[in-house]
Amino acid sequence: MDVALASKAFPSPSGATIEQPISKRDKAIVDESSKHTNLNPNANDPLGALPPSSFLTEGAMAMATMASPSSRTLIPSRHHGAAPSPSTSGDSSARLLRAQPRHGRRGRGVSVSTPAAWRRPFVFTPRAVSDSKSSQTCLDPDASTSVLGIILGGGAGTRLYPLTKKRAKPAVPLGANYRLIDIPVSNCLNSNISKIYVLTQFNSASLNRHLSRAYGSNIGGYKNEGFVEVLAAQQSPDNPNWFQGTADAVRQYLWLFEEHNVMEFIILAGDHLYRMDYEKFIQAHRETDADITVAALPMDEKRATAFGLMKIDEEGRIIEFAEKPKGDQLKAMMVDTTILGLDDVRAKEMPYIASMGIYVFSKDVMLQLLREQFPGANDFGSEVIPGATSIGKRVQAYLYDGYWEDIGTIEAFYNANLGITKKPIPDFSFYDRSAPIYTQPRHLPPSKVLDADVTDSVIGEGCVIKNCKIHHSVVGLRSCISEGAIIEDTLLMGADYYETEADKKLLAETGGIPIGIGKNSHIRRAIIDKNARIGDNVKIINVDNVQEAARETDGYFIKGGIVTVIKDALLPSGTVI
């Protein structure tokens, strides 16, 4: 049942004034907020942008903004994100800001009355089901000063090869303009976590370059409190080995992490696609007095066999783990997911919970587990967390009921990218004003589309598309597509640079092929990595429906029936795949 938690007096649509109580604490927040200006002017940009330094340097509340033709009202928020935009559909019903504390605890929220010509009431609703973009939390101390983010870059990424041939897995391009690492970093920044380390040991040059360009000079400001840094695996007198797993990677840098005066470490994966409010995650950790909190995804029986499952008691405490169970073992892992907040209908559809590989550790617990109790454990999911449960640590589950994809294979990566073109609602949207996805500013010109037929597709920045047909595809930045080309169900990653006219002239004189897609080429169900040179009249359509093939010397692989052209590859004119 929806319960209004706090608000000030505001007129109803009929003009009557509704009085609702407001706490002294929240009134103080409102009074204090009137002294400040909006700290995040870019929050209303639906495409996202580089994170402004102001909200990170001060570590303070940002101001959510609501615009009208004649005025603006500032609403204090623990986040920097702006309030959701007014409805464009003409629906005059009140918008909801939902606070979702666990176990029925009452959340806190503040709504401020606005000019009668356009104001609408805000209603705060306590629900236990995970994340909504407009929810509010009251962490004390604030996440910017009390939480350290640790993003694990993953292993060699062999299942994503050849996309990981020249780059780390978190540096793989995503959604035309972004890279995978932008997802967890943006989730952190949107959750007011500004101290972030990224651990990696494979092909880290591209990842390091991207992070330094995207976040290096824009986090922390004059106080230098925020950062995003890459920590590469290294040998030392104490440990001559490379990272042996997720827990071992964190253990090798514990000496650095413990220097930070924080309460919790949040452990994240660098190859997941999702949008999550980590402040609510951390709030649940504190409210339940947990030692470790594990993010859990509700599952139906069909999908559950592919994941590590958890069993919980009536308080949401994890009591048992099972790795990819089947048959009777699977049935034994069924849980009542209404405990974590699902409604009765969805709880029947989703009677299992799977670990997302995302954890909140209390700092002292992390140090104790990795150094003293499990000094030889290499992995969090299969060793440290089950071990902590077995010795009596309080390990809680936190339900995340939203879109989440583990991008660990070529097929999963392909489907996640094309999922953003789905209509009417994409699987994952980059168009979220309250929680934008940040990336590096490239200062590219708008894409140019000349006499082209483009349907159900996403086009990145700085593309030149001439008299061609593009359907259900993602076209990455700086892509050049020539006349007569047909692109279907394809991910084009684009290019790292433009070739000059002099370069193109020289290539034409020497019989070379410029970067991009040549004239009258046909590409279907494929991934074209960056800087690929596809000649004229090339057909990449998997004529023989081959499912698996390794043709690295020819410039491509086929995995799951998806053709992947390697970065910097050259396919001569007339090639047929």
**Whether residue 407 is found in the same domain as residue 454:** no
422-443 pLDDT, tens per residue?
988 899 999 888 899 999 999 9
Query: What's the pLDDT score for residue 527?
Result: 97
| Residue 93: inside a domain | no
CB 282 within 8 A of CB 298: no
Q: What is the mean pLDDT of residues 166-190?
A: 93
- The b/e string for 163-176 (b: 16+ C-beta within 10 A; e otherwise) is bbeebbbbbbbbbb
Query: What's the pLDDT score for residue 65?
Result: 38
| Residue 151: inside a domain | yes
Q: What is the mean pLDDT of residues 397-411?
A: 92
**Whether residue 263 is found in the same domain as residue 332:** yes
Q: What is the mean pLDDT of the chain?
A: 79
| Residue 120: inside a domain | no
3-state secondary structure of 498: coil
Given pLDDT bands bounded at 50, 70 and 90, which one contains residue 135?
low
| Residue 14: inside a domain | no
Residue 224 has pLDDT above 60, yes or no: no
Structure tokens at 53: 């330094």
More confident residue, 13 or 425: 425
Given pLDDT bands bounded at 50, 70 and 90, which one contains residue 240?
confident
Q: Could you give the percent of the chain with pLDDT greater than 90? A: 52
Structure tokens at 502: 């002099």
**Which range scores top for mean pLDDT: 37-51, 62-76, 204-218, 301-315?**
301-315
Residue 525 has pLDDT above 70, yes or no: yes
CB 291 within 8 A of CB 404: no
User: CATH number of the domain that 524 lies in?
Assistant: 2.160.10.10
Structure tokens at 52: 């402004």
**Whether residue 159 is found in the same domain as residue 263:** yes
- The burial of 286, by beta-carbon neighbours within 10 Å (0-12 exposed, 13-18 middle, 19 or more buried), is given as middle
Q: What is the mean pLDDT of residues 352-373?
A: 94
258-305 pLDDT, tens per residue?
999 999 999 999 999 999 999 999 999 999 999 999 999 999 988 888
| Residue 223: inside a domain | yes
Please measure the distance between the N-terminal and C-terminal CA atoms of the chain and give it in whole angstroms: 58
479/498 Cα distance (integer angstroms): 9
Of 374, 391, 412, the domain-final residue: 412
Residue 15 has pLDDT above 70, yes or no: no
Length of the chain: 577
Q: What is the mean pLDDT of residues 361-371?
A: 95
Of 412, 428, 457, the domain-final residue: 412
Q: What is the mean pLDDT of residues 310-328?
A: 89
| Residue 429: inside a domain | no
Given pLDDT bands bounded at 50, 70 and 90, which one contains residue 563?
very high
Q: What is the mean pLDDT of residues 23-37?
A: 46
358/184 Cα distance (integer angstroms): 11
**Whether residue 457 is found in the same domain as residue 405:** no
How many structural domains compose the chain?
2
**Whether residue 472 is found in the same domain as residue 362:** no
Contacts of 422 (CB under 8 A, 6+ apart): none
More confident residue, 81 or 498: 498
User: CATH number of the domain that 161 lies in?
Assistant: 3.90.550.10
Q: Which of 131-135, 314-318, 364-368, 558-562 has the lowest mean pLDDT?
A: 131-135
**Whether residue 191 is found in the same domain as residue 239:** yes
**Whether residue 397 is found in the same domain as residue 446:** no
Q: Which of 43-57, 146-160, 361-375, 384-398 has the lowest mean pLDDT?
A: 43-57
Question: Count of CB atoms within 10 A of residue 95's CB?
Answer: 16
**Whether residue 402 is found in the same domain as residue 447:** no
CB 81 within 8 A of CB 64: yes
Q: Which of 83-97, 202-216, 225-239, 475-489 has the lowest mean pLDDT?
A: 83-97
Residue 470 has pLDDT above 50, yes or no: yes
**Whether residue 448 is found in the same domain as residue 403:** no
Of 362, 394, 412, the domain-final residue: 412
Query: What's the pLDDT score for residue 158?
Result: 86
575/249 Cα distance (integer angstroms): 44
> According to the 3-state scheme, what is the secondary structure of 172-239?
CEECCCEECCHHHHHHHHHCCCCEEEEEECCCHHHHHHHHHHHHCCCCCHHHCCCEEEEEECCCCCCC
Query: What's the pLDDT score for residue 569?
Result: 95
43/134 Cα distance (integer angstroms): 13
| Domain interval for residue 470 | 442-571
Residue 483 has pLDDT above 80, yes or no: yes
- Residue 558: what are its φ and ψ, rounded to 5°? -125, 120
CB 298 within 8 A of CB 403: no
**Whether residue 384 is found in the same domain as residue 452:** no
Given pLDDT bands bounded at 50, 70 and 90, which one contains residue 8?
very low
| Residue 527: inside a domain | yes
Query: What's the pLDDT score for residue 433?
Result: 86
Query: What's the pLDDT score for residue 2?
Result: 43
Query: What's the pLDDT score for residue 117?
Result: 41
**Whether residue 389 is found in the same domain as residue 265:** yes
Angle at 562 between CA 561 and CA 566, to 5 degrees: 135
Query: What's the pLDDT score for residue 521?
Result: 96
| Residue 82: inside a domain | no
**Whether residue 147 is found in the same domain as residue 242:** yes
Query: What's the pLDDT score for residue 326?
Result: 87
Q: Could you give the percent of the chain with pLDDT greater than 70? A: 75
Given pLDDT bands bounded at 50, 70 and 90, which one contains residue 56?
very low
